[in-house]
């Protein structure tokens, strides 16, 4: 979580790169069209990670709203590192429709450990569910709250945790970037929780450093 949103995504990429270097299986849901950049080095002069991009302007494989369920099954059953780019699907309603079918199929088919990264998580699991889209929240909640038995390790990326549904927020890992929003961090029980060096002690240390910089 961060301000502005692009910085939240940038910070989260560091966590994802560590996962990729460890050989983990990762699927990133990207409504912003920015995660394809994992395929290149920071300066763009060399190859990055072997990431398959589904959808978006830089797609390896195009997607449509009708391919959501099939794609969920493919990602669940294959040893892929991938980005599901929803930025070119059109309307917000089209993206939600895709996500509802995708999340349901992914949950039903997955059996192995999978890090599922949900960028702009408040779109998929808002604190105040949008009328008519309650089923989408239900599918995301199923992955986050009950998906561990099916191998899911969920990560949420959001500008403001306060606008993410609390039943979902309390069960997922949430990378935190802008530590000036420490009240937001306190509301989020799984910030940096149990992820390598990103522990609560690390968060407290960074918060003290931030306060020290503010004093001078």
Local confidence pLDDT in tens for the 216 residues of the chain: 444 455 567 778 888 999 999 999 999 999 999 999 999 866 666 788 999 999 999 999 999 989 999 999 999 999 999 999 999 998 999 999 999 999 999 999 999 999 999 999 999 999 988 888 899 999 999 999 899 999 999 999 888 888 899 888 887 665 544 433 444 444 444 443 333 333 334 334 434 444 444 444
Question: 120: Cβ–Cβ under 8 A, 6 or more apart, which residues?
Answer: 5, 31, 32, 157, 158, 159
pLDDT at residue 162, rounded to an integer: 85
Category of 138 on φ-ψ map: left (φ > 0), alpha (ψ -120 to 50) or beta: alpha
Q: Which tokens hold the place of 179?
A: 């530590």
Domains and CATH numbers, the chain: 5-215 (3.40.50)
- Global pTM? 0.78
Closest CA to 16 of 49, 41, 59, 53: 49
pLDDT at residue 44, rounded to an integer: 61
For tokens 């604190």, the residue is 127
Question: 214: Cβ–Cβ under 8 A, 6 or more apart, which residues?
Answer: none
What span, in angstroms and rounded, lies between the C-alpha atoms of 148 and 128? 25
């Amino acid at each position: 979580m961060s301000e502005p949103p692009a910085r939240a995504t940038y910070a989260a990429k560091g966590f994802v790169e560590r996962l990729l270097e460890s050989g983990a299986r990762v699927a990133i849901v990207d409504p912003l069209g920015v995660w394809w950049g994992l395929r290149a080095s920071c300066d763009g002069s060399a190859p990055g990670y072997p990431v398959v991009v589904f959808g978006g302007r830089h797609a390896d494989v195009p997607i449509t709203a009708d391919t959501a369920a099939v794609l969920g099954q493919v990602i669940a059953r294959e040893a892929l590192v991938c980005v599901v780019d929803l930025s070119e699907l059109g309307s917000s309603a089209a993206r939600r429709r895709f996500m509802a079918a995708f999340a349901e199929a992914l949950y039903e088919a997955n059996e192995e450990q999978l890090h599922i990264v949900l960028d702009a998580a408040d779109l998929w699991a808002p604190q105040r569910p949008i009328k008519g889209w309650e089923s989408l929240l239900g599918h995301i909640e199923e992955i986050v709250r009950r998906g561990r038995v099916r191998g899911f390790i969920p990560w949420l990326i959001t500008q403001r945790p306060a606008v993410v549904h609390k039943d979902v927020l309390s069960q997922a890992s949430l990378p935190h970037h802008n530590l000036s929003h420490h009240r937001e961090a306190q509301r989020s029980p799984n910030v940096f929780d149990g992820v390598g060096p990103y522990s609560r002690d690390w968060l407290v240390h960074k918060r003290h450093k931030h306060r020290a910089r503010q004093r001078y």
